[in-house]
Amino acid sequence: MGILNFLFPKTCIGCKKKGSYFCPDCAQSAKLHFPQVCPVCEQPSPDGVRHTYCDKHQTPNGLHSIWAYEGTPRKLIIKFKYRFISDIADELAETVAAHLKNYRPLSNKGPVWTEEKFTVVPIPLHWKRENWRGFNQSEELGKRIANKMGWDFQNLLVRAKRTKHQVGLRGKARRENVEGVFSLNPNIPTSQYSNVLLFDDVWTTGATMKEAAKIIKQAGVARQVWCLTLAR
């Protein structure tokens, strides 16, 4: 046990049991997000695959969220988002990877996460916000999940402008707030990626991830763009 763990023992955010921030019992009992929904209309869809009638140009091909945004997962996400703790990132990534490895698709269009090869692309923060916070939670988690799944990781996007916080904005205001906010990272080669997996912590209206998917598809650098979030 390290000196910090001795002085400040890790305690489960859900049940207060010592030893971890997300104990196996709380991970097991956390409410999964079900059913998965189409990323365009957000109506139920097997495996989160985009509906055929929602197959609009430059929209995500699918969405997979792990948990409902409530209870222990919500507390963990909020604590990690505003106070970086590497052990929380490690435990969340381990739990997410276990979920993906055990996931069995309901349809032949659903992803078999252990057989697909993805390039994980985190949703970027504006550099001023990242400097203020000290880290980008989506990047830190995305790297760990990619490593545990044997996937590639790439900071393919940058924020071209600073926006208002999405919290408190609704519908049209959220979409307008993120319009034109992303661009391709000029430091990353624009080679062809087979499957891009956009990663963020929470899907609320999906405006941010839809805008990111649009930029990637407009550039023609990916065949498919899926979205993965911890919660919805």
Q: Which of 40-44, 52-56, 180-184 has the highest mean pLDDT?
A: 40-44
pLDDT reading at 1 higher than 80: no
Tokens of 51: 């509906």
Rounded mean pLDDT of 34-56?
Answer: 96
pLDDT reading at 2 higher than 60: no
pLDDT (tens digit per residue) in 85-133: 888 999 999 999 999 999 999 999 999 999 999 999 999 986 676 566 6
Interacting residues of 118 by C-beta distance below 8 A, sequence separation 6+:
146, 149, 151, 152, 195, 196, 197, 226
> By C-alpha distance, which of 65, 64, 72, 70 is closest to 28?
72
pLDDT (tens digit per residue) in 150-183: 999 999 999 986 665 555 555 566 666 677 789 9
Look at residue 82 in the predicted model and tell me its pLDDT. 79
* Site of tokens 């910090």: 4
Distance, in Å, from the CA atom of 7 to the CA atom of 110, rounded to the nearest integer, reads 46
**Band (37; pLDDT cuts 50, 70, 90):** very high
Tokens of 10: 């890790």
* Site of tokens 């992303």: 182
Look at residue 165 in the predicted model and tell me its pLDDT. 59
Q: Hey, what long-range contacts does 161-166 have (CB within 8 A, 24 or more apart)?
A: 161/126, 162/126, 162/128, 162/129, 163/126, 166/204, 166/207, 166/208
Higher pLDDT, 83 or 78: 78
**Band (4; pLDDT cuts 50, 70, 90):** very low
Q: Please, is 6 exposed, middle or buried when counting C-beta atoms within 10 Å of its C-beta (0-12, 13-18, 19+)?
A: exposed
Look at residue 133 in the predicted model and tell me its pLDDT. 67
* Site of tokens 């990272």: 185
**Three-state DSSP class for residue 183:** strand
Percent of the chain whose predicted confidence (pLDDT) is above 70: 86
Set out the domains of the chain in order of their start, with CATH numbers.
20-231 (3.40.50)
User: Over the range 102-124, which residues count as b (16 or more CB within 10 Å of their CB) and which as e?
Assistant: ebeeeeeebbebeeeebbbbbbb
